[in-house]
Amino acid sequence: MRQHNGELLPVYLHCSMEEAARRVGNPDRVERRKMTSQESLIRELDNHKFSPVPRSDCLKLDTEIRSADSNAQEIVRRFGLDTTRT
């Protein structure tokens, strides 16, 4: 990251356990090589305590109440990202 003058922009995406369990069975997760079983999800959540990065600039977004596009727009807005560059 330093070699390319990168910058860490911490974002914590979260949803309820019920919503995560509902989503884990979505067919598109197989294509993206993501976790696909509720058993694996429960095991991972039990073994790891996921939480926001302890930084004042960590953006916390609820993916259960906001769409992916809305969350992406908020990330761009919050960090002042230039969307014209690729």
Q: How far apart (Å, rounded) are the C-alpha atoms in residues 42 and 26? A: 16
For the segment 4-24, the average pLDDT, to the nearest whole number, is: 91
Residue 38: domain span? 2-79
Residues in the chain, total: 86
Residue 32 forms part of a structural domain: yes
Cβ-Cβ contacts under 8 Å for 60 (sequence gap 6 or more): 11, 12, 14, 52
When divided into structural domains, the chain yields a total of 1
Residue 68 forms part of a structural domain: yes
Residue 30 forms part of a structural domain: yes
Residue 3 carries which DSSP code?
G
pTM comes to 0.76
Residue 86 forms part of a structural domain: no
The answer to whether residue 83 scores a pLDDT higher than 70 is: yes
Task: Note the pLDDT tens digit of each residue in 35-76.
Answer: 898 999 889 888 988 888 888 889 999 999 999 999 999 999
